[in-house]
Homo-oligomer: A and B are copies of this chain.
Amino acid sequence: MVDARRPRPDWAGRLLTVQSRLVDAQVDAVVVSTPNNIRYLSGFVGSAGLLVVTRDAVRLIADGRYDLYARQHIADGSMATVSLERVDRRYDLTLGQVVGTLNLSRIAFESTHVTVATLGSWERAAPGTTWVRADGLIENMRLIKDAYEIEILRRGGKLIAGVIEQLGEQVGSVLRAGRAETAIARDIDKMVEAAGFSGPSFETIVASGPNSALPHARPTDRLLCPGDLVVLDFGGVLDGYCLDVTRMSAVGPLSGQALALFDAVKVAAEAAIAAVRPGILTSDVDTAARDVLTARGLGEAFTHSTGHGLGLDVHEAPRVGRSDPDAREMVQPGMVFTIEPGAYVEGLGGVRLEDDVLVTVAGGEVITPASRDLLLV
């Protein structure tokens, strides 16, 4: 059942925007295949499905597994009003029938999602059609969050900040020497769920000691030891939208070098957050963090980008990374992205701090308002 008290996404408005862009792109239709793009436009949540949007019609192609689900959700308003086309045998064959029925000849597709093999099967199923790449058509809409999405992300940000504060209260219990990374990760997952999230937005990272120097470590059976830096990187999914934060714990006594590493990353994070405002480039935000680390001799130790967009996907546009002349992107109100500088030094360990930031006309609003202090055990 849909919670009637919450606002609903403006499916109709989103579909109209797509339809107006079809005219600009000089195509008869777009076949949307990326699951979260389908969800964004129609509310349909499934691992398979194709949404065909023409200038005056919307058809959802899905197989029998989703038939009753889709009919119920259309009826109760938790999906857009779309015509259902049930797949009997193969998606490509049903798509071919729909293309024929609607008499489509120039069709846009998502070349960043459709595989070479799939496009081949569509071409065979719909002979005589021309397939045109339409990359970013829906991603560009998703880049700027609307009021419905901002409400969810702000609400989720407060909830995940609450989990951070809880972790701070559990220094000495959840976080202490002798506990395994996997055990701590499980505890975090429970807190995330208890906070009201439907689940983690990715596999929780707890990386201690030498493992902290691995930016994409997975939790192991390693037990926390004195002197460890401990990266805690986790998130939750709320109403389909992803939050993503990182805080640092450590088991004392810490070396002066480790404390300096933490301090450098904290200052870099604060600098990047302070830099956020509409009209600059996303790479300017990256530069703000990178300059701090470079000035402290840690430029090489910052091996990844400063951040990434958040929304239905835990990684989506915009990229907040080094300047790329092929992909200059302006910071705009309504964008939501992470700011997560890190520094990783083999033999010493790694530090990363991550918050989620909404761009408003006034600048960057940290939607995950929790202390960035070291959770020192």
Contacts and interface: CB of A to CB of B under 8 A. Distances in A.
Interface in A116-149: 116-120, 133, 135
Contact of A69 (B116, B118, B216): B216
A214 interface: yes
A183 to B, nearest CB: 11
Contact of A216 (B65, B118, B214): B65
A113 interface: yes
Quickly give the copy total for this chain. Answer: 2
A294 interface: no
B303 A213 contact: no
Interface residues of A, number: 40
A304 B113 CA distance: 25
A257 interface: no
A165 interface: no
Interface of A: 1, 45-47, 63-69, 109, 111-120, 133, 135, 186, 193, 199, 203, 213-218, 220-221, 303-304, 344, 346
Nearest to A302: B64
Contacts of A203: 199
Tell which of A1, A114, A220, A303 has the most Cβ of chain B within 10 Å. A303
A213 B72 CA distance: 12
A183 B195 CA distance: 15
A65 B215 contact: yes
B115 A68 contact: no
A215 to B, nearest CB: 4
Contacts of A344: 68
A349 to B, nearest CB: 11
Contacts of A135: 117
A109 B221 CA distance: 37
